[in-house]
Structure 1
Amino acid sequence: MTAYVIATSCTKFGKHPGSSFKDLTRDAYLAVLKDAGLPDGGAIENAWFSNCGMGTFGQRNIRGQVCFTPLVREGLFPERVAMTNVEGGCASASMALHGAWKDILSGTADLSLAIGVEKTFVQNDPDKTREVFEGGIDQFDVDEWKAYYKAAGEVAGKPFDPNGGGGTVFMDTYAMQAAFHMAKYGTTRRQLATAASQSHHHGSLNPLAQYQFDVSVDQALEDRVVSDPLTRSMCAPIGDGAAAALVCSERFLAGLPPEIRERAVAIRAATMTGGKYRRLDEPSLSRVAAERAYRMAGLTPDAVDVTEVHDATSFSIIFQSEMMGFCPDGKGGDFVASGATALGGSKPVNLSGGLVSKGHPVGATGLSMIHELATQLRGEAGARQAEGARIALAENGGGTIGFDEAVCAVTILEKVH
């Protein structure tokens, strides 16, 4: 049995203080219905709602049900449909997609909705923004991860000082990994800046991106330091947004108009893994997720034509190129510098602009990746189109346990027609 993505949507990411959670939900939901050619959601049998930070704004439970109440009242979303709220840090939206995929494979639904909604920008109240992100790391045993990072900082040659800069603990963890990679493999600051510059160029071609301007390699190098060696241009911004996907069965697909069937994208694999306190020189949970996905799909890394990876910082493009099997360990910097990951390269990565340019409203990020990859596979990406793309991969991590994410999802999509 195969599950198909028949429609996707994504709002423009950015700082939207005038848009509520319900507003963003409505925008993404109505857009995904339009993409599917459906007048309403009457055929939807199940739904998965992704969000991380709504509790900070007072809605700690039944988040999806609350955001969809007006849509039910207006007859745009069916009554009595079960909605499951999911949260897995920055990988929450991939969890929602995973749930919808399982609905189809299990036969419990022929059409399932996955939707992710997030607001991380709070005008004139940075403490609320900080609270949203602090939920992504252990708040019960803080001393445990502080001691872990302190010891790792000595190994990486970058002392852990959570009070020493303008960034966050999360940026510090990426910075320590980058410093270790530089020391062990000879990865350079310029390669980090090259990864950032490529992403910003891709984002300049994406009308939905939060940042739509080019950043040169030198500009990325010279930008304000967030956590050395990472500069502002190499780090994802704060922003709001929503994204969605409709997943259906072969039976449902067969009943759709030809113009919708022709745009369908098959889910070849969907895997998730859990994080742990690993050594700096130990492969990430994303490698395990990728290997499982390749086995499930019966593919190798060579088959992947276009990729979206979770670049909360641009170091992740270097690192995840290795973890996804696109190049040997330690060669990610050279791989990026060769142009392989750029538009027109042999293995283009983050043609959406990635998190550093497209933006990172955490509960929506995973589905925004699916939206970009579906757009690429359909040949609808315009100036940032990867020519001839048939196989696409998304890697999405969320939360932090040591140098792992708490969860990582890898999804492989295939063009059907």
Structure 2
Amino acid sequence: MAASIRDTYILGIGVTPVGRYPDRSFTDLVADAYGSAVKDAQLADPDRIEGTWFSNMLADFWGLRAMRGLATLAPLVEDGLFPNGQRITNVEAGCASASAAFNGAWSAIQSGADLTLAIGVEKMNPNDGRGAELLEWMNGGLPESYWEPFRRLADQLGVGFGFGSDRSMAMDVYALLALSHMRDYGTTIEQIAASAAKNHTNAVHNPRAQYRFPMSTDDVLADRVIADPLTRAMAAPRGDGAGAILVCSEDFLTEQPTSVRDRALKVRGHSLAGGRINASWEDQRSPVVSAAQTYQMAGLTPRDLDLVELHDATSFAEIHLIEDLGLCERGHGGPFTASGATQLDGEIPVNPSGGLVSRGHPIGATGIMMLYELAVQLRGEAGETQVPNARIAMAENGGGIVGLDIAVTATTILERVA
């Protein structure tokens, strides 16, 4: 497999901080991220970009139902900031939308392009008090048959299954999955809380994070329960933000000045995998398949990683994902986390950025933001959350849920080469 992969690099990357920006437009947020990526790449001629992949999930709620990328980027074209006549492909894959956009940009390089762009943006905080309406909108549109695997699992666990009006349906599903993992492997709520406390504390020194306050395990457990057994501190908040990433071939990279080449990051491996309805924890679920493909492409194993950023939409997700990625054995995610192995100074730091529960989760931008957090680590620019001598790092970004599986999982391994 590796012999057929064309060497691909991240040339430049930029993101906004995650926050609540009800008065900022999609275009405003994208302009900041895109401008930062172009500056990071020292790109003198944006007209050399050969294609753009634009990711977003919730623009429909705001009344933007078609040609989202064109509508968002048109003002930047008019201002002369974005190339005119650019081919823009709209991408949506739930919470993995930005990673799917990156996949489009990366795949184009594999097909012969030399410079491509992926952009992700999300607005999740209305300024007119419609926050509950947005959550309800997120819960709609799926056929009744979609929920049957969850109802069967709830029956097996002897619990109810339904949606709350103050949260997205994902929280109810994750709560059910947490109970399943606790039943099958003895995972405890204290172990899940340890993950949340670690990530909240990591985010204190991350200027891009939405929440920047430390929490102890006791603090996490004492917070309000939103979907039993999960508390509010174990769940990602609604965030607004954008990210942009410039991807290039080795041929394009060799044309750049030394200052740019020294900051470029090699994409050692990248993969998307789809989920399986009715999968069990022991099956080859999409995170397991995607990670295996990415490790194979990179010629690496989990032991070669210096850090990981993964999709902790809830803190329980981190427990099963460190198992899925091979960082510990199946069923050992809880004890592995509670042991301190995933702390900044642990065996394999996980979510030094604060993860989604603190760094934030603006759905259409999250995948690119995770790659940004890898970039600052590999470039040695992470400040007080810096992992010493970080050279190889993985990001895992999941979108949608089908039964016990994730509908689509993206994994990416980046390497510092300078």
1:19 equivalent in structure 2 = 24
Partner of 1:406: 407
| Counterpart for residue 372 of structure 2 | 371
Name the residue aligned to 2:354. Answer: 353
SS in 1 for 2:46: coil
User: Whole-Å Cα distance in 2 between the matches of residues 180 and 74 of structure 1?
Assistant: 53
Q: Which of 25, 49, 52 pairs up with 1:47?
A: 52
Q: Name the structure 2 match of 1:288.
A: 289
Amino acid at match of 2:192: L
Aligned partners of 1:131 and 1:167: how far apart in 2?
8
1:81 Cα deviation after fit: 1.6
Range moving further from structure 2, 320-329 or 123-132:
123-132
Is it true that 1:57 corresponds to 2:62 in the alignment?
yes
Q: Which moved more, 1:208-217 or 1:145-154?
A: 145-154
**Contact 2:200 2:211 (8 Å CA) reproduced:** yes
CA distance in 2 between partners of 1:376 and 1:200 (Å): 18
The one-letter code sitting in structure 2 at the alignment partner of 1:238 is: R
Summarize the alignment of residues 246-285 of structure 1 with structure 2, pairs less than 5 Å apart. 246-283=246-283, 284-285=285-286
Q: Name the residue aligned to 1:386.
A: 387
Give the AA of the match of 1:141: P
Aligned pair count reads 411
Matches within 5 A, 1:143-162: 144-162=145-163
Matched position secondary structure for 1:42 = helix
- How far the C-alpha of 1:380 sits from its partner, in A, is 0.7
Q: State the match for 2:117 in structure 1.
A: 113
Match of 2:104 among 90, 99, 102: 99
Contact 2:98 2:367 in 1 (8 A): yes
Superposition RMSD on alpha carbons, in Å? 1.5
- Please say if residues 122 and 128 of structure 1, whose CA atoms lie closer than 8 Å, have aligned partners that are also in contact: no
On the 8 A contact 1:91/1:407 being kept in 2, the answer is yes
TM-score normalised by the chain length of structure 2: 0.95
1:141 match: 143
Q: Would the alpha carbon gap of residues 17 and 56 (structure 1) be closer, same or farther in structure 2, given more than 3 Å must change?
A: same
Q: Closer, same or farther in 2 for the Cα pair 1:85/1:47, shift >3 Å?
A: same
Which residue identity does 1:58 align to in structure 2? G
Secondary structure of 1:147's partner? helix
The answer to whether the 8 A contact 2:136-2:168 is kept is no
Contact 1:52–1:132 at 8 Å: present in 2 too?
Answer: no
User: Is the CA contact (8 Å cut-off) linking 1:157 and 1:179 kept in structure 2?
Assistant: no
- What does residue 90 of structure 1 align with? 95
- Unaligned runs of 5+ residues in structure 1 are none
| Structure 1 consecutive aligned stretches of length 4 or more whose deviation exceeds 6 Å | none
Report if aligned partners of 1:56, 1:128 keep a CA contact under 8 Å in 2: no
User: How far apart are the structure 2 equivalents of 1:133 and 1:332?
Assistant: 29
Match of 2:39 in 1: 34
Confirm or deny: 8 A CA contact 2:224 2:231 kept in the other structure.
Answer: yes
- Secondary structure, counterpart of 2:29 in structure 1: helix
Question: 2:150 & 2:171 partners in 1: Cα distance?
Answer: 12
| 2:3 aligned residue | none
Alpha-carbon distance in structure 1 between the residues aligned to 2:360 and 2:345: 22
What are the superposed Cα offsets for residues 205-227 of structure 1, whole Å, 9 maximum, x if unpaired?
10000001101110001100011
Cα–Cα, structure 1 residues 58 and 231, in superposed 2: closer, same or farther, change >3 Å? same
Does the Cα contact within 8 Å between 1:48 and 1:113 map onto a contact in 2?
yes
Please say if residues 138 and 168 of structure 2, whose CA atoms lie closer than 8 Å, have aligned partners that are also in contact. no
Shift of 1:272: 0.6
Given that 2:281 and 2:404 are in contact with CA atoms closer than 8 Å, whether structure 1 keeps it comes out as: no
Question: How far has the Cα of 1:166 moved from its partner?
Answer: 4.3
Q: CA deviation at 1:400?
A: 2.2
CA deviation profile, 1:70-98 (whole Å, cap 9, x unmatched):
22122221111201110000000001111
Q: Choose the corresponding residue for 1:73, options 74, 78, 85.
A: 78
Whole-angstrom distance in 2 between the partners of 1:166 and 1:69? 35
Q: Which runs of 5+ in 2 are unaligned?
A: 1-5
Q: Match for 1:83: what amino acid?
A: I
Worse-matched range after superposition: 309-318 or 272-281? 272-281
Distance 1:48 1:411 in 2: 17
The AA in structure 2 aligned to 1:69 is A
Report SS of the residue matched to 1:207: coil
Q: Classify the secondary structure of the residue corresponding to 1:400.
A: strand
Secondary structure of the structure 2 residue equivalent to 1:399: strand
TM-score by length of 1: 0.95
Please list the CA deviations of residues 232-277 of structure 1 after superposition, one character each: whole Å capped at 9, or x if unmatched.
Answer: 0000001100011110011110111111100110111111111221
